Amino acid sequence: MCGIIGYLGNHEAAPFLVEALKRLEYRGYDSAGIATVQDGHLDRRRAVGKLVNLSDELVHAPLAGKSGIGHTRWATHGSPTAVNAHPHRVGKVAVVHNGIIENFRELRAELAEAGLVPETETDTETVAMLTAQYVAEGLSPQEAVARTLPRLEGAFALLFLFDGEDDLMIAARKGSPLAIGHGTGENYVGSDALALAPLTDRITYLEEGDWAVVTRESVTIYDAAGQIANRPVKQVTLDNARVDKAGHRHFMAKEIAEQPQVLGEALRFYLGEAGDRITLPGDGIDFTKLERLTLVACGTAYYACLTAKYWFEQIARMPVEVDVASEFRYREPPVTPGTMALFVSQSGETADTLAALRYCRDKAETVVSVVNVAESSIARESDLALPILAGTEIGVASTKAFSCQLTVLLLLAIEAGRQRGTLDADRLADLLSALRGLPSVIGRAIDDGATAEALSLQLAEAQDVLFLGRGLMYPLALEGALKMKEISYIHAEAYASGELKHGPIALIDKHVPVVVMAPRDALFDKTVSNMQEVMARGGQVLLISDHAGITAAQDGIWRSIEMPQVDPVLSPILYAIPAQLIAYHTAVAKGTDVDQPRNLAKSVTVE
Ligand code: F6R
């Protein structure tokens, strides 16, 4: 969602703020803005659209000052206009915000009675109005914020700057993440540690309800009750490489190409150098004690969970329930004591997934997460956090995080099968051996990406694309359709192959490409029958299969992409590659903004 940065130092703030906002732009790119205090004078600059527009604005109208706050916006309340861009300023107060103030209408009505009229359509401005009113009544900035915070309902990370205060920022967190960075004679605030990467690796994470008074020489943190809270300073290993495309045209291309390497690292972490047994961090998981699994996530991470359902059921014979977090949390399902609740999230900050985790906290036997960002809220609030080790993912469309999520989930299912005695030693050895070979097989699939690129010119002409898959390929078909929609803006739907004739087949005509994902496994012949039904109605089939599958099914198909042969259990991880490449090249052919597609943001910290 929105990204927040604050700088209180000995250098000009504006260049630092803009540089840090570049690292936060993945959180939103509807508008950007900064405010600084120079000799006690508060001023701001804002611009609609990408950060580059703010940079241009700052060339024409520079902003001096050694303290400042900045924001990159993903619009929730109010359209993405300059007037709605953060920082919002009222009287002596400027504020940037990530989250939603749910009671802003009530607060506005109250402020209106005092004759205060908002200038923007945003919920955030109400925070500035309220705080400014308290300051105008004679409260100090600290007292004014302390009075404002308990009045706000919803989720927020807030950062305040004050006219007349060259050495003060106040930060507050409830529901949305916020980190304080410690420097020498300088201090910083950011939505995540990565935003602060070039500035410091000494980080304090604010806890729920915390707020912090920050000066150049001090950071004082208060809890929700107003008591001074001692929060640890952590040494965080920061990924300075994140804004580098390493010669690729897009971050997404770089991240697709990185998959052999990051999968290799994840496998080494869980399998060790010998690669012959799975070791989970901490005390691990006792699967023999568990009766069922509940898997919860959003978007691509949800499709990773759907795939894992097949694995846990088939390999470990465990009952599995899967749900999207936004439905799960409001359904309030019974969670029985023998349940392991498992949450999958790249960012570890997705608001719905975090809320679902909190719902399960006191109900489930154990709460486990599969995350990319090790210091994220979801990781920190889990009994056990399993890293996927994908490295920083910048492209809004998730690629390497998906394949790493799948890999960790498969390792978990194999470990569950081993512990529960549903997987014999030979099959276990086969699967681990196949996994060890996976990075190089994935590398071959990426190197063979030319067919996907060649096809994309025709796919880019389509209005609609269908994706079909059966068994383990069904969740992957859903993921392929999601990738296609989000970056190429082509309408794409996915169906379980067997469902086609129950309705969706009506959509088929010669203008609709149908992507069929079907390795030559036990279900292949069934899928081929469904493919014939499509072709009989003029549908253009793009078959993604292995050599044996393509040879067996060749008659009448429009195009094919040949994949290396793998153990069928691993096929979702391998077949993720053509799904990503098709979407990527189609988006490039259409000329869309691949890394920052319209209306989206990478980290969804609002409901
Ligand atoms: C799609 C995509 C999203 C995310 C979803 C969950 O390419 O990236 O669907 O998967 O927003 O995000 P995380 O995994 O951060 O919880």
What are the pLDDT digits (tens) for 64-107? 999 999 999 988 888 889 999 999 999 999 999 999 899 999 99
Q: How much distance in Å is there from the Cα of 299 to the middle of ligand 1?
A: 5
Q: How much distance in Å is there from the Cα of 352 to the middle of ligand 1?
A: 11
C-alpha triplet 445, 446, 447: angle, nearest 5°? 90
In this structure, which residue's CA is closest to atom 7 in ligand 1? 397
297 CA: nearest ligand 1 atom: 16
Own/partner contacts of 251-255, CB < 8 Å, gap of 24 or more, are 251/394, 251/395, 251/595, 252/395, 252/397, 252/399, 252/487, 252/580, 252/584, 252/594, 252/595, 253/584, 253/594, 254/395, 255/393, 255/394, 255/395, 255/399, 255/400
Residue 436: inside a domain: no
At residue 351, does pLDDT exceed 50? yes
What is the enclosing helix (H) or strand (E) of 574? helix 571-590
346 CA: nearest ligand 1 atom: 14
| High-pLDDT (> 90) share of the chain, % | 82
Q: How much distance in Å is there from the Cα of 543 to the middle of ligand 1?
A: 27
604 CA: nearest ligand 1 atom: 11
DSSP label at residue 233: P
C-alpha separations of 586 from 299, 394, 580 in Å: 20, 19, 10
User: Mean pLDDT throughout 229-251?
Assistant: 80
Any ligand 1 atom below 6 A from CB of 350:
yes
Query: What local confidence, expressed as pLDDT, does residue 241 receive?
Result: 42
Query: What local confidence, expressed as pLDDT, does residue 327 receive?
Result: 96
603 CA: nearest ligand 1 atom: 15
Do 528 and 570 reside in the same domain of the chain?
yes
Residue 107: inside a domain: yes
Any ligand 1 atom below 6 A from CB of 377:
no
176 pLDDT tier (thresholds 50, 70, 90): confident
Q: How much distance in Å is there from the Cα of 606 to the middle of ligand 1?
A: 13
| High-pLDDT (> 70) share of the chain, % | 99
CATH number at residue 362: 3.40.50.10490
17 in Cβ contact with 189 (< 8 Å): no
Task: Select from 131, 164, 159 the least CA-distant residue to 65.
Answer: 164
Do 487 and 548 reside in the same domain of the chain?
yes
Any ligand 1 atom below 6 A from CB of 397:
yes
Mean pLDDT of the chain: 94
Do 249 and 218 reside in the same domain of the chain?
no
243 pLDDT tier (thresholds 50, 70, 90): low
Which of 189-198, 412-421, 553-562 ranks highest by mean pLDDT?
Answer: 412-421
Any ligand 1 atom below 6 A from CB of 298:
yes
CA gap 205, 179 in Å, rounded: 5
Residue 117: inside a domain: yes
From 188, 212, 235, give the residue that closes a domain.
235
Residue 445: inside a domain: no
At residue 148, does pLDDT exceed 90? yes
At residue 240, does pLDDT exceed 60? no
Any ligand 1 atom below 6 A from CB of 398:
yes
User: What predicted TM-score, i.e. pTM, was given to this entire model?
Assistant: 0.85
Q: How much distance in Å is there from the Cα of 91 to the middle of ligand 1?
A: 38
Ligand 1, from 74, 255, 300, 328: best to mutate by most atoms within 8 Å of Cβ? 300
Q: How much distance in Å is there from the Cα of 162 to the middle of ligand 1?
A: 36
Residue 296: inside a domain: yes
CA atoms 422, 427, 433, 437: torsion sign: negative
Query: What local confidence, expressed as pLDDT, does residue 556 receive?
Result: 87
Do 306 and 393 reside in the same domain of the chain?
yes
Q: Reading across the β-sheet that carries 491-496, which strands appear in turn?
A: 491-496, 464-469, 513-517, 540-546, 559-563
Q: How much distance in Å is there from the Cα of 602 to the middle of ligand 1?
A: 7
User: Mean pLDDT throughout 410-427?
Assistant: 98
pLDDT digits (tens, 9 = 90+) for 438-487: 999 999 999 998 999 999 999 999 999 999 999 999 999 999 999 999 99
Ligand 1, from 298, 371, 400, 476: best to mutate by most atoms within 8 Å of Cβ? 298
Query: What local confidence, expressed as pLDDT, does residue 416 receive?
Result: 98
Do 468 and 356 reside in the same domain of the chain?
no
The DSSP string of 39-75 is TTEEEEEEEESSHHHHHHHHHHS----SEEEEEEE--
CATH number at residue 154: 3.60.20.10
At residue 607, does pLDDT exceed 80? no
Burial degree of 302 (CB within 10 A; 0-12, 13-18, 19+): buried
CA atoms 216, 222, 228, 234: torsion sign: negative
Buried-exposed string 32-45: b where 16+ CB fall within 10 A, e elsewhere: bbbbbbbeeebbbb
Place of tokens 């529960």: 420
pLDDT digits (tens, 9 = 90+) for 18-75: 999 998 888 888 899 999 999 999 999 999 998 999 999 999 999 999 999 999 998 8
What phi-psi label fits residue 542: left (phi over 0), alpha (psi between -120 and 50 degrees) or beta?
beta
In this structure, which residue's CA is closest to atom 5 in ligand 1? 299
Residue 511: inside a domain: yes
CA gap 605, 261 in Å, rounded: 29
Do 412 and 502 reside in the same domain of the chain?
no
In this structure, which residue's CA is closest to atom 9 in ligand 1? 299
299 CA: nearest ligand 1 atom: 9
At residue 603, does pLDDT exceed 80? no
Range of the domain at 16: 3-235
CA gap 36, 45 in Å, rounded: 9
In this structure, which residue's CA is closest to atom 3 in ligand 1? 299
Q: How much distance in Å is there from the Cα of 266 to the middle of ligand 1?
A: 19
Do 254 and 225 reside in the same domain of the chain?
no
CA gap 169, 178 in Å, rounded: 13
239 pLDDT tier (thresholds 50, 70, 90): low
Residue 96: inside a domain: yes
Do 294 and 403 reside in the same domain of the chain?
yes
Any ligand 1 atom below 6 A from CB of 301:
yes
CA gap 376, 75 in Å, rounded: 23
CA gap 291, 296 in Å, rounded: 17
CA atoms 7, 9, 14, 19: torsion sign: negative
- The contacts of residue 560 (CB under 8 Å, 6+ apart) are 451, 542, 543, 544, 545, 550, 554
Query: What local confidence, expressed as pLDDT, does residue 184 receive?
Result: 95
Do 177 and 265 reside in the same domain of the chain?
no
Domains of the chain: total: 3
300 CA: nearest ligand 1 atom: 10
245 pLDDT tier (thresholds 50, 70, 90): confident
From 181, 202, 235, give the residue that closes a domain.
235
63 in Cβ contact with 55 (< 8 Å): no
What is the enclosing helix (H) or strand (E) of 294? strand 292-297
CA gap 598, 486 in Å, rounded: 8
399 CA: nearest ligand 1 atom: 7
Q: How much distance in Å is there from the Cα of 398 to the middle of ligand 1?
A: 6
Active site residues: 2, 602
Ligand 1, from 604, 605, 607: best to mutate by most atoms within 8 Å of Cβ? 604
Ligand 1, from 393, 398, 399, 602: best to mutate by most atoms within 8 Å of Cβ? 398
Do 25 and 133 reside in the same domain of the chain?
yes
Any ligand 1 atom below 6 A from CB of 347:
yes
User: Mean pLDDT throughout 553-562?
Assistant: 89
379 in Cβ contact with 373 (< 8 Å): yes
Q: Which two tokens stand for residue 410?
A: 């498969």
Question: Mapping DSSP to helix (H, G, I), strand (E, B) and coil, where does residue 23 land?
Answer: helix
Query: What local confidence, expressed as pLDDT, does residue 445 receive?
Result: 96
Do 372 and 461 reside in the same domain of the chain?
no
Any ligand 1 atom below 6 A from CB of 353:
yes
Query: What local confidence, expressed as pLDDT, does residue 29 receive?
Result: 83
Pairing of strands 513-517, 464-469: parallel
Do 265 and 389 reside in the same domain of the chain?
yes
Residue 140: inside a domain: yes
CA gap 35, 94 in Å, rounded: 7
Any ligand 1 atom below 6 A from CB of 604:
yes
Any ligand 1 atom below 6 A from CB of 345:
yes
Dihedral pair phi/psi, residue 3, rounded to 5°: -115, 140
CA gap 411, 266 in Å, rounded: 10
